């Protein structure tokens, strides 16, 4: 499914090589990860009355996913939120029959910002457990991540410098979850 989505994205970007993005996650050395998250009910969340069953108690703090894309599926318990441009948070309705696709930092770099990494978080629920399954589609550690030159038009400025997936992961682990982990690789912030 991840490969099909990446191939559709490549088509939407008018990339001639249909599998340019998907081949990064089918490589035998790709760094794809499957994770299960369990958020038990949180009684403190029952204090106020909101969509989540009470006060906003963070289950997993705000962040962007570093990989190319991530595929998320959860049970019918609410809690997943995304951050809008104005910095407000909006709840994504839970649907155990659907997958949610998050653009990751790597895809943001490869598309030179055409696709934006999705800042998100999870709030706990005061009454029900939340279970989510995420498949993170990541390239091999030695893969070079950089804006795809086939997408750069005219005098368009490259927003990011080239780095390997290993370099990005090493840098990301040295920062806080909520930090802009791409900042170190922006061309206007060479350090």
Sheet with 120-123, strands from edge to edge, namely 58-63, 120-123, 80-83, 89-91
Q: Encoding tokens for residue 3?
A: 């490969």
- Quickly list H helices, the chain: 2-12, 23-26, 105-110, 165-173
Active site (catalytic) residues: 130
Residues contacting residue 79 through CB under 8 Å, at least 6 positions apart: 39, 52, 59, 91, 94, 122, 123, 124, 125, 130
Tell me which H or E stretch contains 189.
none
| Biggest CA pair distance of the chain | 56
Q: How far apart are CA 35 and CA 101, in angstroms?
A: 15
- C-alpha torsion angle, residues 70, 76, 77, 83 (rounded to 10): 40
């Amino acid at each position: 499914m991840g490969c099909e989505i990446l191939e559709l994205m490549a088509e939407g970007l008018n990339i001639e090589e249909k599998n340019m993005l998907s081949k990064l996650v089918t490589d035998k050395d790709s760094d794809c990860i499957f994770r299960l998250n369990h958020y038990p009910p949180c009684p403190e969340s029952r204090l106020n009355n909101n969509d989540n069953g009470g006060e906003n108690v963070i289950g997993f703090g705000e962040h962007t996913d570093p990989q190319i894309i991530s595929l998320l599926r959860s049970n019918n318990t609410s809690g997943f939120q995304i951050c809008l441009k104005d910095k407000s948070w909006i709840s994504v309705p839970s649907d155990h029959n659907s997958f949610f696709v998050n653009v990751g930092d790597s895809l943001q770099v490869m598309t030179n910002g055409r696709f934006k990494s999705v800042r998100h978080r999870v709030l706990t629920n005061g009454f029900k457990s939340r279970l989510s399954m995420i498949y993170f589609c990541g390239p091999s550690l030695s893969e070079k991540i950089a804006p795809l030159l086939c997408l750069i038009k005219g005098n368009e400025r490259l927003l990011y410098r080239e780095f390997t997936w290993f370099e990005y992961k090493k840098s990301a682990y040295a920062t806080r979850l909520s930090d802009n982990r791409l900042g170190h690789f922006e061309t206007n912030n060479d350090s």
